[in-house]
Amino acid sequence: MVSPTYYALSTLTTTHLLFLQVTAEHKESSSNSKRKCFQCNMPYECNLGLCYGDYCIKSLASDQYVSKGCENKTFRLVNGESYTQENSESIEKPYCTTEYMFGIQNIICYCNDVDFCNRSQKIEARLIMISLFLFLMIFYFIF
């Protein structure tokens, strides 16, 4: 007959080994898929800061205040099995959602397709226009 102490220790050891294996697999898989994202909070569009996460987030409150950052998948053990929160897994393509907080419209966008996918398109367009203008001015003064 197996003693209760031996049974308890063997069960504890098996559970601990399972936990270590699942945790190691999660760290290995999630470390490879981290995205670089902008992280900033400004009253206008911004492309500053840096964070690493599973998803990049961009939030626009009342078409004025911009907040950018990262979000990670949640992970926990349930009865010895790994479990990732379902709504985190469902992000396959970039998407946006609208919420109202204190009567103010907030547009929140999630993406994980490329690094810095939460960049501001308006700033890029301005930089292109300024660069083109400077190039034309230099070209005009040279010739």
Structure tokens at 34: 């981290």
Query: Do the Cβ atoms of 36 and 111 come closer than 8 Å?
Result: no
* Distance separating alpha carbons of residues 10 and 5, to the nearest angstrom: 9
Q: What average pLDDT does range 84-108 have in this prediction?
A: 75
Whether residue 22 is found in the same domain as residue 81: no
The verdict on 60 and 83 lying in the same domain is yes
User: How confident is the model at residue 133, as a pLDDT?
Assistant: 82
Give the whole-angstrom CA distance, residue 33 versus residue 42. Answer: 28
The reported pLDDT for the residue numbered 70 is 92
Domains in the chain, number: 2
Same domain, 53 and 116: yes
The reported pLDDT for the residue numbered 37 is: 92
Query: Both 112 and 122 in a single domain?
Result: yes
Strand (E) or helix (H) holding 25: helix 4-32
At residue 86, the pLDDT reads: 47
Boundaries of domain holding 87:
34-142
pLDDT band at 88 (very low <50, low <70, confident <90, very high): very low
Q: Indicate whether 28 and 38 sit together in one domain.
A: no
| Single-letter amino acid, residue 47 | N
Q: Is there a single domain that holds both residue 54 and residue 18?
A: no
Give the phi and the psi of residue 105 in degrees, each rounded to 5: -75, 130
Dump pLDDT digits (tens) for 23-80.
333 344 444 578 899 898 888 878 888 999 998 999 988 878 888 999 888 766 666 5
